Amino acid sequence: MNINIRIALIVIIGLALTMGVGCATSKVWISSPVAQTAGNPYYEAKIEPLKSVNKFFVSFLLVVTNKTDKNLEVDWNKTRYIYNGRTHGVFVFDGIRPEDIKGLTIPADTIVSGQNFSKTISPFKLLARAPIKDRYTDKPIISPGIMPNGKNGIHLVIRQNGKEIIEKISVNIEENIAQ
């Protein structure tokens, strides 16, 4: 084979590979539905999955509306992350102490009568540790991890005067390829 033909083939193959990389697909995560609501005579609860800066889901925005004339309490020690119908540990959020997670002594949050309560929560089981190179910077050492494809949700335990009122709420998270 002539040297000029070889060079031309190498250039053509190189260009084809370069163009192929430039047209590579990216991943997009979607939630179906975007948010899910459940309710009972005591409260209405809604979860909405939240994305990180990397565009995958890592947390939920939990919003609870107290429909009664008495205060309610979110029992964080019994509330669980649900993945594909099975419970997988507690949720964590800003201000929670590691010893409370370990000892299941997480203080309850009060939802005042007739009021809304909201909190961003992340599954403890999915927490991600920063790479060693980032541990000596001002970046957080621990951050919310990626929620996997499938049904992700909450087994929400709320109390009123010692009575537990439970709701299970889930959304389906899927990873799609965008063109």
Q: In the chain, what are the domain boundaries? A: 3-178
Q: Is the pLDDT of residue 138 over 70?
A: no
pLDDT, greater one: 175 or 158: 158
Residues 6+ apart with CB under 8 A from 99: 105
pLDDT in tens, 36-82: 999 999 999 999 999 988 789 999 999 999 999 999 999 999 999 99
Q: What is the pLDDT of residues 9-41, one digit of tens each?
A: 565 665 555 555 555 567 788 999 999 999 999
Looking at residue 131, its pLDDT comes to 66
